[in-house]
Amino acid sequence: MRPEPAAQVAEPVAPPAPVAPAARDRLPLHQRVWFQRTVTWGLLLVVWEVFARQVGPFFFPSLSDVADGFRTIVGDGSLSLVAESFTQMLVGFGIAVLIGVPVGLLMGTFRPVEFLLGPYVNALFVTSLAAMLPFIILVFGTGFEFRVAVVALFAIFYVTINPANGVRSIDPAVLEMARSFNIGPVKRFLSITLPGTLPFIIAGLRLGLGQAVQGMIIAELWVTIGTGRKLTTLGLDRNLGEFFALAAVIVLVGTALTQSLMLAQRRFTPWSGDVAASVKGAN
Amino acid sequence: MASTTKPAAATFDPTGPMLMWTLRITSVIALLAAWEWYGRKPESFTIAPVSEVATAMWDGFASGDFGRALAGTMLTMVVGYVIAAVIGVGVGLWIGVSRYAQNTIEPLVHAGYATPVSLLIPILGIYTGLELRGRIILVVLWCVFEILVNTSTGIKEVPPALIDVGKSFNASKFDLYRKVVLPAARPYIFLGLKIGVGRAIRGAVTAELLLSAANLGRVLLGAQSTFDIPTLLAGIVLTMLLGLVLMRLASLVERRSLAYRTA
């Protein structure tokens, strides 16, 4: 049973008072995190299993189907296929970062750069890049370059726009003060702009990485190659246990990559997420 | 002409609007000229010159193909977006205010947020069919998590001082949420809704390209399969312009809704 949410509405942002471990232990059982998770997630799994048994494996895989599927993909080498796909994705993502972040910083710092590139970057950021796929394939063919190009294209505008916004978000008074203390532009950049922008950069990387994985899948589905080919085949065969297992592996790898960026954000820019961190820390 | 000696100093300001616009317009013209020049070269058969693309765009609209495709894509997008906005803001608010939802639902949402929705394309048809319903569901999946995460973040990032003030004025819990938390979270919520528009367009186009060829996706795929490069490029430009215009509208709505903050 789900506890009535309204009954335990937390004070929106109470946690800044650091929750001592002792205080946490005194929470009633039904408010403890592990208990809520066990009950809710357990219930979801039960619903999943019952539903799957009702409709059968050709419509929805049961948990044991997924477990079997996982054993199969571990056995038949599909995991190396996934590793290969992610490696190619990281190449494309790396290209996007190497171009995007510096361009973003330039756009944020120099108004003429922003004025020239801004409209293009913003336009490409918001529109559907998938529309370009039929064209990219004509230019790059269906091989490695196609996939790298798609990934880079999907990620690059995220890793450009966020640093640019970050630079712009810096309080001009701080920069002005630095200037009045006769601090040179390089030092200003290194000790004010860059630290102030870092949370934005990392957030951009995180979003860009998500897009890059998206691009990887779309590219591979498009030319039916690698992991994408495997997914298509499993879907057509209605081999849903294996499909869900493989999809879960991809999601887990993607999540691990994103989480590592989250960790980086908390480690390198601890000042940026005080509120969010304290909310999380209270769990 | 000769009398420009006095204001010369002013026009030399590197951030002067005159110079900036000159730069911008020059860059656009240079870009189009380079495109035209490159497209006319006989060896660059994958790129059609801009003049042919413009003709193809004209033909596409004259025959009604582009208009119909645009309308169809927008319908898919709008329906999916509205569904996603309702779900996203609703669940996002719940996660923002409920410790229970933060403990149990939020990890699942983050998993969903990290999930590349395109993964589902090979099996989505089993559950939704490949036609309009499937494409709408894909749009929903494409943008719902963005809206959801922004909403819950907005609620969680309300400055504690604001809540303290509300409490010290003896606001009831309901009033605290309605008059303090929600307004303070609005920038985030609207940001999520704005980004959601862009993602909805991406979702719609991806669905029309990969799930089942339809509307703008069909225009693009048809042009690609017949190697009709001018129409292909015109279709791409059209699709991107659609996204651009809708996003501009979303920004406009966002700015007007938040105008009270800067006023």
Among B57, B60, B69, residue whose Cα is nearest residue B218? B69
Q: Where are the domains of chain B?
A: 13-42, 61-262
State whether A167 and A251 are in the same domain. yes
Alpha helices in B157-228 (DSSP H): 160-168, 173-175, 182-206, 215-225
* Rg (chain B; Cα; Å): 24
A64 domain residue, yes or no: no
Give percent above pLDDT 90 in chain B.
29
A66 domain residue, yes or no: no
A14 domain residue, yes or no: no
pLDDT at B28 exceeding the cut of 50: yes
pLDDT per position as a tens digit, A43-78: 999 999 999 999 888 889 988 889 999 999 888 888
Q: Both tokens of residue A182?
A: 């006769």
Residue A201 CB partners (closer than 8 Å, separation 6+): A101, A104, A159, A162, A163, A166
State whether A41 and A77 are in the same domain. no
Superfamily of domain B61-262: MetI-like (1.10.3720.10)
Name which of B172, B236, B237, B245 to mutate to probe chain A: the one with the most chain A Cβ atoms within 10 A of its Cβ: B236
The beta-carbon neighbor of B100 closest among A5, A137, A210 is A5
**Residue A176 · residue A182 · CB < 8 Å:** no
Distance of CA A106 to the CA centre of its chain: 24
Q: Distance between CA atoms of B205 and B76, rounded to whole angstroms?
A: 9
State whether A48 and A165 are in the same domain. no
State whether A78 and A44 are in the same domain. no
Between chains, do B118 and A218 touch, taking CB under 8 Å as contact? yes
State whether A76 and A117 are in the same domain. yes
> Which sign, positive or negative, has the C-alpha torsion B70, B75, B80, B81?
positive
Give the domain CATH number at A94. Answer: 1.10.3720.10
Average the pLDDT over B5-28 and give the result.
Answer: 66
Q: Distance between CA atoms of A196 and B193, rounded to whole angstroms?
A: 26
CB-based burial label for B169 (10 Å; 0-12, 13-18, 19+): exposed
Owning domain of residue A120: 72-281
Q: Distance between CA atoms of A262 and A264, rounded to whole angstroms?
A: 5
pLDDT confidence tier of residue B200, bands split at 50, 70 and 90: very high
The beta-carbon neighbor of B104 closest among A41, A135, A279 is A41
pLDDT at A172 exceeding the cut of 70: yes
Tell me which chain B residue has its CA closest to the CA of residue A210: B114
A-B Cβ pairs (cutoff 8 Å, strict): 183
Helix (H, G, I), strand (E, B) or coil at A54: helix
State whether A178 and A92 are in the same domain. yes
pLDDT confidence tier of residue A25, bands split at 50, 70 and 90: low
Q: Bridge-partner residues for B98, per DSSP?
A: A9
Q: DSSP readout, A146-188?
A: HHHHHHHHHHHHHHHHHHHHHHHHS-HHHHHHHHHTT--HHHH
pLDDT at B1 exceeding the cut of 60: no
State whether A26 and A95 are in the same domain. no
The beta-carbon neighbor of A275 closest among B23, B157, B241 is B157
Distance from CA of A276 to the nearest CA of B (A): 7
Q: Kindly report the number of other CB atoms within 10 A of residue A76's CB atom.
A: 12
Classify residue A110 by its DSSP letter: -
Tell me which chain A residue has its CA closest to the CA of residue B109: A255
State whether A166 and A44 are in the same domain. no
Exposure class string for B128-140: b at 16+ Cβ within 10 A, else e:
bebebebbbbbbb
Contacts of A93 in chain B (CB under 8 A): none
Domains in chain A: how many in total? 2
